[in-house]
Amino acid sequence: RAAVSARELTVSYRNFRALNGISFVLEPGVTGLLGPNGAGKTTLLRALATAALPDSGALSVLGMDPCTPEGRLGIRRRLGYLPQDPGFHPHFTAFEFVDYVAILKEMKDRAARHREVLRVLDAVGLPDRRRKKIKQLSGGMRQRVALAAALVGDPELLILDEPTVGLDPEQRLRFRELIADLGDGRTVLLSTHQTEDVAALCRRVIVLDGGTIKFDGEPPALAAVA
Ligand code: ADP
Ligand code: ADP
């Protein structure tokens, strides 16, 4: 079963259609989501993460329906979402922030939850910085905290909204390696403006423009549509 399937998906803000009847199915591996500013990329990621509600069409995320309350709860527990603005509390440590996300995912057993927090901090290369407050961390380290939070519970679907933005070239390379590892067996939707991200990571790209899909296919063919 595909992790995401959308048919004629429409999402509006008041009466403005940010996504206008798009259809696609996501398979395991890293799919790049490209398009100019205002194309609807963040709206699509937010719809998958249950932060924006579809107003028509069909959307299935991890086999669940984001248009029902039970579906939204189930998706939030099982999805990994790295939003553009993770909403950090600056006085939290990385540990406390990731633990907070784990609590939101309803991991109720405290000891098991703490083990999971330490596991994901390790996975993103943050183990020795977990006692520092987030406000003391560099931008790259903060991105790692946000990625760690997305990895809680080892989700089979990861939604990453411009995860390499604001990183220096070396950090970007490290992040790309992390995402490549994550794409092995999981379904990853990666919104990015970095052509290097696409070349290094994506077996497929979806190009959005004006709320519709302008291209969906292998990255090398992209030159033909640009
Ligand atoms: P992208 O991520 O590709 O830049 P967005 O999904 O953020 O695009 O935005 C798509 C369109 O929806 C843009 O025209 C944007 O102005 C509009 N939009 C986004 N968020 C809101 C909102 N909260 N209220 C009204 N319009 C919005
Ligand atoms: P318990 O009280 O259930 O034994 P702890 O709160 O001591 O669990 O946490 C278990 C692990 O998580 C320990 O390795 C601890 O160092 C780490 N830990 C707990 N709270 C924090 C925190 N705020 N910042 C960093 N690490 C933490």
pLDDT reported for residue 89: 87
Residue 226 has pLDDT above 50, yes or no: no
d(CA 68, CA 65): 6
Residues 85, 135: contact at Cβ < 8 Å? no
Ligand nearest to the CA of 128: 2
How far, CA to CA in Å, does 202 sit from each of 32, 47, 188? 6, 21, 9
pTM of the model: 0.87
| Arithmetic mean of pLDDT, 13-35 | 96
97 touches ligand 2 (CB under 6 Å)? no
- Portion of the chain with pLDDT greater than 90, in percent: 76
Tokens 């790049």 correspond to: 32
d(CA 208, CA 210): 7
| Arithmetic mean of pLDDT, 94-114 | 94
| Arithmetic mean of pLDDT, 107-130 | 90
ipTM exceeds 0.90: no
pLDDT tens readout for residues 123-133 = 998 877 668 89
Q: How far is the CA of 17 from the centre of ligand 1 (A)?
A: 9
For the CA of 43, the closest atom of ligand 1 is 6
43 touches ligand 1 (CB under 6 Å)? yes
pLDDT reported for residue 170: 87
| Arithmetic mean of pLDDT, 132-160 | 93
Beta carbons within 8 Å of 156's beta carbon, 6+ residues apart: 3, 62, 78, 186, 187
